[in-house]
A and B are shown apart, each in its own frame.
Chain A
Amino acid sequence: MRKAIIAIGSLSAALLASTPAQVHQLPQIKSASIELPAGDSLFPGGSSADAINNNCLACHSADMVLNQPALPKATWEAEVQKMIKIYRAPIDEADVPAIVNYLASIKGNG
């Protein structure tokens, strides 16, 4: 191990002269398994939130949207179109106005 340290130290000296480079002893890498919170809370607002609840929660939780600042309605329209066209969100075209209106009503500024 000591020889390896010296060899690597001299190899890396030229490349990483200004940054610390060294050799560690082997960390033990063990298989990992986790569980994540579901993040399945609904958007508030009852029936006015039906369209957004039915179309948007498969890909992301509602909190991200609720944490956004107030923005122009045109920005929300563009966001919904971006989700459809780029991120391929399977949103029913008929639901788009209701989603945009909901966003503009809770996060709109004109």
Chain B
Amino acid sequence: MPEPKDHSSLPRPTPHSSRRSSFAFDLSLSRRSALRALGIAGFALASVPAWADELVKLPLPSNPRERPLTRDFPEKSDMILQRTRPPLLETPMEVFDRGVFTPNDQFYVRWHWAVIPNAVDVKTFRLSVRGHVNQTLSLSVDDLLAMPRVDLAAVNQCSGNSRGFFVPRVTGAQWAHGAMGNAQWTGVRLKDVLDRAGVKAGAVQVRFNGLDEPVVPDAPDFKKSLDIDHARDGEVMIAFAMNGEQLPLLNGFPLRLIVPGWYSTYWVKMLSEIEVLDKPDDNYWMATAYTIPDTPHANITPGQAGVKMIPINRMVPRSFFTNVANGASFATETTIPIRGIAFGGDTGVAKVELSADGGKSWLPTTLGKDHGKYSFRQWEAVTSLPVKGNHALMVRCTNVTGDVQPLAPNWNNSGFMRNVIETLQVTAS
């Protein structure tokens, strides 16, 4: 167990530039006048973004592969820019080589709607708990800080992480592998908050909403739900800190739902409303969006029709190389240190194995410190490539329930749940 940390001297939020924010769109403006405003700003920026001072090339199967590396976002360092508004920011792969926890300033960012509050006053912010409960609550951040506190290391991964590798390609954020991160989350148990409100008999789900809103008023607000038993399992958390600091606003300040082992779509950011439901949530974001084929690995054939769809849920095991990239070359006479990260999905990592012969034989790797079953786990091994020529390095994770990464990639229309064994083509000379 990590030593308790001293949080008494957290860094203050850094001052920010006076750059125009996306909230410059006044929603009361007519679309036409909003577009006029856009047009003027658009001329100023021309077609080359001012922040495109460096480009990264993602190893995607087809163009376009280049993305700007941006430092233009508040509380964020170098990030791969997938979309400026609303922000989609990807963590560069080398960040995962530096440690098992992903730093807050390089933790990936994903928002659905462009109306994101650009300020939150912790004195006036309230989390409401209502619906099928005995007592409606309106909790301040201080109220939560006064409750029993828990601390958990957990991977947050976008449902569509690695979507850019799907073949045939599919629409959506064209992520490489960096729509994931691992943090030490600190907060309170959702169960304790629900108990304080008193869940009535007959409750079936709990719905979560954040402060973000659609640009168009009648568009579906982003809300997600968990079954009541899941919500009360004692592991689902409301976090007010990540890696010992308050959350960056773009990662959900001041409160974020933490759903260990489940995809990030459920980890509602800027959590402001908890609603206990006495019937299943049929809102768009549960019933239609973020659904997967009810098949092994959520896998179907492109074009396959009549597939039963279910809400995406538990994560599956994955493993990655972090110190070697595709196309690397090595001298035949040297030993090659290889390392990376893995996670078990909804449970811990049992083993990570390495193959240097394209999957014909597998060798054990050494696992790093165990930070709990929902955390990244580092792995390392030493190998060599004694024969000159091309070689395929592969890494695979098996979790403690025996679930192992598949050799063949899955495919579905949304580009969800990719967890194929990763392969690097390298050369020995």
Q: Interface residues, chain A, CB within 8 Å of chain B? A: 4, 7-8, 11-12, 15-16, 18-42, 44, 53-54, 57-61, 63-64, 66-71, 75, 79, 86-90
Contact = CB atoms under 8 A, between A and B. Distances in A.
B219 A39 contact: no
Contacts of B8: 25-26, 28
A18 to B, nearest CB: 5
B83 A67 contact: yes
B148 A8 contact: yes
Contact of A37 (B73, B113, B234): B73
Contacts of B145: 26, 29
Contact of B83 (A25, A30, A60, A87): A60
B122 A31 contact: yes
Interface residues of B, number: 96
Interface string B1-40: 1101111101011001111111111000001001100110
Contact of B63 (A18, A22, A69): A69
B246 A38 contact: no
B115 to A, nearest CB: 10
A28 B5 CA distance: 13
A35 B18 contact: yes
Contacts of A44: 47
A3 to B, nearest CB: 12
Contacts of B75: 34
A4 B146 CA distance: 11
A20 B371 contact: yes
B82 A67 contact: yes
B88 interface: yes
A67 B174 contact: yes
A32 B253 contact: yes
B240 A27 contact: yes
Contacts of B49: 41, 63
Contact of A29 (B81, B84, B240): B240
Nearest to B146: A26
A18 B154 CA distance: 13
B391 to A, nearest CB: 28
Interface string B281-302: 0001000100000000000000
A31 B13 CA distance: 9
Nearest to B233: A15
B149 interface: yes
A61 B113 CA distance: 11
Contacts of B86: 60
A14 to B, nearest CB: 9
Given A31-B121, A59-B113, A61-B83, 6 more contacts: A20-B1, A20-B2, A28-B10, A28-B246, A64-B83, A86-B284
A24 B241 contact: yes
22 contacts: A18-B372, A22-B4, A23-B148, A25-B4, A27-B186, A30-B10, A31-B122, A32-B13, A34-B119, A35-B118, A36-B19, A36-B21, A37-B21, A37-B51, A37-B73, A38-B22, A58-B34, A59-B114, A61-B85, A63-B83, A64-B83, A67-B83
B148 A11 contact: yes
Contacts of A20: 1-2, 151-153, 371-372
B12 A30 contact: yes
A25 B6 contact: yes
